[in-house]
Amino acid sequence: MTSILALAASEFRIALRNRWVAIAIVMMTLFAVVLTVAGTAATGTLGVDRLTVTVASLISLGVYLLPLLALLLSFDAVAGECERGTLALMLTYPVGRAEILAGKFIAHLGILALAATIGFGTAAAIALIADPEASVGLPALFRLFWTAPVLGAAFLGIGYALSAVARRPGAAAGLAIAVWLVVVVLYDIALLAAIVTDGGGTFTVDFFPWLLAANPADAFRLFNLAASEATALASGVDGAAASMPPAATLVAILAWPLLALAFAHLVFRRVTP
């Protein structure tokens, strides 16, 4: 455990020096505040409090930004060490590959959790100051706080696996962006196209909700939307939040980080310095 914490501290210092911590915090806070200020204009029309609208906006922000930040933090984790020749040096010390991966994971997860807490907390504070009665949305906000790092953990594991497969930072970066586009953007578009083609048939009723739960980003969105009145603001793909069992999306959210990290470790074991 001492070796893991030492590696995590070293990785965090490297991220500080490379401005990744500042970049993650600024990006999350900036987008969260902009969405909060823009989204609260609709509270009177929708008949819901400001914090509920803010949480709905932050859920969408988390779906797109957290996976991207996680992949940007993790794509260089193995490939960069291989290219710089530092992986061979690290393996000469009494530390295993699982410990190396765990140290990087703790540091990167801490960066994501810090960025999400500051960004979401700032947006929530603005909503609460503007509408003191918005405290009814606090349970949904707390659920968002703890699920955000879990979503980030899933994509950190995916990023480590891609980095170990590619073994070159350039190739790993390309794979990371491709995975983000497919999982976060194109996946939902493909499901919507399938729904239109199906016309309310078997696919829409029996398969569509479960395919959403199988995607870590969509499972995160559905689980959080189901937490409060934010479900009333959902439309399109997000409308499935009302029909999905919360237990199914919760299992998907918790299972993805474990599966991704296990696969990353399996691939990392095959990497030769």
Confidence of residue 30 (pLDDT cuts 50, 70, 90): very high
Higher pLDDT, 84 or 238: 84
Confidence at residue 243, expressed as pLDDT on a 0 to 100 scale: 63
Confidence of residue 242 (pLDDT cuts 50, 70, 90): low
**With 80 as the cut, is the pLDDT of residue 273 above it?**
no
Q: What is the pLDDT of residues 60-91, one digit of tens each?
A: 899 999 999 999 999 988 888 888 888 888 87
Confidence at residue 106, expressed as pLDDT on a 0 to 100 scale: 94
Question: Out of 11-15, 41-45, 137-141, 172-176, which region has the weakest mean confidence (pLDDT)?
Answer: 41-45
Tokens of 153: 């953990």
**With 70 as the cut, is the pLDDT of residue 247 above it?**
yes
Q: What is the pLDDT of residues 95-138, one digit of tens each?
A: 888 998 999 999 999 999 999 999 999 988 888 887 777 777 78
The tokens 């409308």 sit on which residue? Answer: 239
Distances (CA, A) of 1 to 4, 49, 102, 203: 5, 45, 10, 47
Q: What is the pLDDT of residues 155-214, one digit of tens each?
A: 999 999 999 998 888 899 999 999 999 999 999 888 888 888 877 777 777 788 788 888
Other C-beta atoms closer than 10 Å to the C-beta of 118 total: 16
Confidence at residue 256, expressed as pLDDT on a 0 to 100 scale: 93
**With 60 as the cut, is the pLDDT of residue 238 above it?**
no
Residue pair 77/169 in contact by the 8 Å Cβ criterion: no
Integer Cα distance of 172 and 257 in angstroms: 19
Length of the chain: 273
* pLDDT, mean of residues 139-159: 92
Confidence of residue 56 (pLDDT cuts 50, 70, 90): confident
Buried b (16+ CB within 10 A) or exposed e, 200-220: eeeebeeebbeebbebbbbbb
**With 80 as the cut, is the pLDDT of residue 229 above it?**
no
The number of CA neighbours under 13 Å toward the Cβ of 29 is 13
Highest mean pLDDT among 29-38, 128-137, 234-243: 29-38
- Mean of the per-residue pLDDT values of the chain: 84
Confidence of residue 228 (pLDDT cuts 50, 70, 90): low
